[in-house]
Amino acid sequence: MDCKISEPIVGPRSEDILPASVSTAVKVVIVGGFGVGKTTLVGSVSEIRPLTTEETMTQAGVGVDDTAGVERKTETTVAMDFGRISLSEELVLYLFGTPGQQRFWFLWNGLFEGALGAVVLIDTRRLEDSFDVMGRLEERGVPFIVAINAFPDAPHYAVPELRKAMDLPESVRIIDCDARDRASSRDALLTLMRYLYSLNTTTTEPQ
């Protein structure tokens, strides 16, 4: 029996192939409440076509998912987002975005496994949504920074006010971020890496 191939077999795209110069790969998680921009950040900064698991929101989520403040949102992540960014010729970050709804939080344990650090995205219109998120990171001992995502109608607060409201120590860095912008998202990841480096330097200094 003849076998007819209707489409040519296409190999991996050049941008999907990891350069041979890479010597260090780091797993980073992007976390936050529902609709804070995790999928957007991963998509804006990833150098490869990001993997997303977004599904259309249906009536099944009514009364279960808290959509206050994000009423226009029509899709939601049900498993994870995945992307990759090279910060240098030697260092690459693998990005894992977590689902925001609490009914999908059982997936977080697997996503946190092996993660070196996290970026917590915050929407100041719904600041309370971040409390449980940061609590789970602290329970698992995952270092994190806080990135305030830029929403047009979101109130702006000074960093000391935010730090007090979220009960964060001075050591945890709080920065502004626009998840839609590649440069801004990359800066957030660089801030995380500098923070992780400072923690490692502090813990390895001779006493």
Q: How far apart are CA 173 and CA 200, in angstroms?
A: 15
Mean pLDDT for the chain overall: 80
Q: Which residue from 48, 80, 78, 82 is spatially nearest to 64, judged by alpha carbons?
A: 78
Question: Dihedral angle at the C-alpha atoms of 64, 122, 169, 93, nearest 10 degrees?
Answer: 110
pLDDT band at 104 (very low <50, low <70, confident <90, very high): low
pLDDT tens across 157-179, in order? Answer: 999 999 999 999 999 999 999 99
Domains of the chain: 20-62+71-204 (3.40.50.300)
Is pLDDT of 64 > 50?
A: no
Residue bearing tokens 């977004």: 54
Is pLDDT of 91 > 80?
A: yes
pLDDT tens across 23-38, in order? Answer: 789 999 999 988 899 9
pLDDT band at 98 (very low <50, low <70, confident <90, very high): confident
DSSP string, 44-104: HH-SSPPB--EEE--GGGTTTS--TT-TT--EEESS-EEEEEESSSSEEEEEEEPP-SGGG
